[in-house]
Amino acid sequence: MAGTLIHGSRRRKIATALPFLAPGIILYVLFVAAPIVYSFAMSFFDWNLSNPFQSTWLGLANYRKALNDEVFRRAIVNTVAYSAVTVPSQIALGLGAALLLNHKVRGQPFFRVVYYLPVITNWVIVGVLFKYAFNGQAGLVNFLLRDVLHLIGSNVLWLGDPVLALVPVFLVEIWKGVGWCAVIYLAALQGVPANLMEAATVDGAGPVRRFFSVTLPMLGATTLFLVVVRTIGTLNGYVSNVVITNGGQPMDQTHFVLTLMYKVAFGSLQFGYGAAISYFLTVFIAIVSFVEMRVLQDRGSSI
């Protein structure tokens, strides 16, 4: 192990670098590192907001309470389902969109903008619009399904059903995510060497074969990146759920882990319990991300 002395030149380098690093380090510690440590500590107490030192030590009781809480378990199921469904969907559809947007056609810039527009819309506004569209008695979706396409006989009360109420939440995520994934894939597609494609065509490969044998493997690293980032993003889902389901309605069955955490901490003032819930999510996300990276890295040969 190297000695603990920093020799002259290295010390000078650190001394020069430190003032430049300091603002970033301070902001990071203040707004990221300290809250992480602080909330971890909170999770072991019945936290007293006005006098933290008078908080009651609970040990692992908050964590045990979460595991025994039916509402929390349902929230986990909802959140995992949300991730499992929307991540592959937006990545697959995003790839499809990127392939289309890669063709040189008239209006290509226009279409690229249109596909990306959902990404920059406001979650709350879009959530409210989807909520109106899925209104059980006066919504656009029921109108189309019942009165136009005659696919259903009577109105479906979307937001009154513990499972169906999440359909608009899932759709908002996919709708918003496709454009983002498409743009990233579009950039990656530019990196697929033209000579490889030509060689494949010369060898007699049709478009489908070319896609699966040349394009897709070259997109391996991008796909891994999108899977990990979108998984983390969707497991942290909050805004559209709260806007559309009104905070877990009906019957607290439509919560995501973060919406439950917010309700418990800022609604019922149980900050320690809320912190414990958030740490369950943290550990879960860390494990899932790690597993994804291992599995997908082993598969992708070109990474």
Partner 1 sequence: MKRFIPVSLVILALLLTASVVWASGSKETTPEPAGQKVTVTYWHTMSDPEAAQLNKVISAFEEENPNITIKPTKFAYDDFKTAILTAVAGGDVPDTARIDIIWVPEFADKGWLLRLDGNMAGFETLINRTFPGPRATARWKEHYYGLPQNTNTQVLLWNKERFDQAGIDGPPATIQEFAADARKLSNPGKEQYGYALGGTYFWAPAPIFYAMGGRIVSPDLTTADGYINGPESVRAFTLLTQLYKDGAISPNLLGGGIGTSDGHASGKYAMIIDGPWMVDIYADTYPDFNVHFAMIPKGPDGNTSSVVGGEDAVIFDGSTHKEAAKKWLAYLLSSDAQKTMAQVGVIPTLSELRGDPALPDYFDVFMQQLQTARARVAHPRWSDMDGAINNAFQRMLRGDQSPQAALDQAAKEIDKLLAE
**Binding region for partner 1 (CB under 8 A):** 2, 4, 6, 10, 25, 28-30, 33-34, 36-38, 41, 48-53, 131, 134-139, 157-161, 165, 246, 249-252, 266-269
Beta carbon nearer to partner 1, 65 or 210: 65
Beta carbon nearer to partner 1, 13 or 294: 13
Taking the CA atoms of residue 54, residue 266, residue 76 and residue 250 in that order, the dihedral angle to the nearest 10 degrees is 140
Nearest to 262 by CA among 242, 284, 291: 242
**In the bound complex, what is the minimum distance in angstroms from residue 10's beta carbon to partner 1?**
8
Beta carbon nearer to partner 1, 51 or 301: 51
What is the number of H-type helices and E-type strands within the chain? 15, 2
Beta carbon nearer to partner 1, 138 or 208: 138
Beta carbon nearer to partner 1, 269 or 303: 269
Q: Which residues of 255-272 are buried (b: 16+ CB within 10 A; e: fewer)?
A: bbbbbbbbbbbeeeebbb
- How far is residue 21's CA from residue 204's CA, in Å, rounded to a whole number? 55
**In the bound complex, what is the minimum distance in angstroms from residue 21's beta carbon to partner 1?**
8
Helix, strand, coil % in the chain, rounded to nearest 5: 75, 0, 25
Distances (CA, A) of 65 to 214, 248, 249, 255, 270: 51, 19, 21, 17, 12
**In the bound complex, what is the minimum distance in angstroms from residue 99's beta carbon to partner 1?**
37
**In the bound complex, what is the minimum distance in angstroms from residue 249's beta carbon to partner 1?**
5
**In the bound complex, what is the minimum distance in angstroms from residue 300's beta carbon to partner 1?**
30
Give residue for tokens 């990233």. 184
Nearest to 85 by CA among 286, 253, 231: 231
**In the bound complex, what is the minimum distance in angstroms from residue 71's beta carbon to partner 1?**
9
Beta carbon nearer to partner 1, 161 or 292: 161
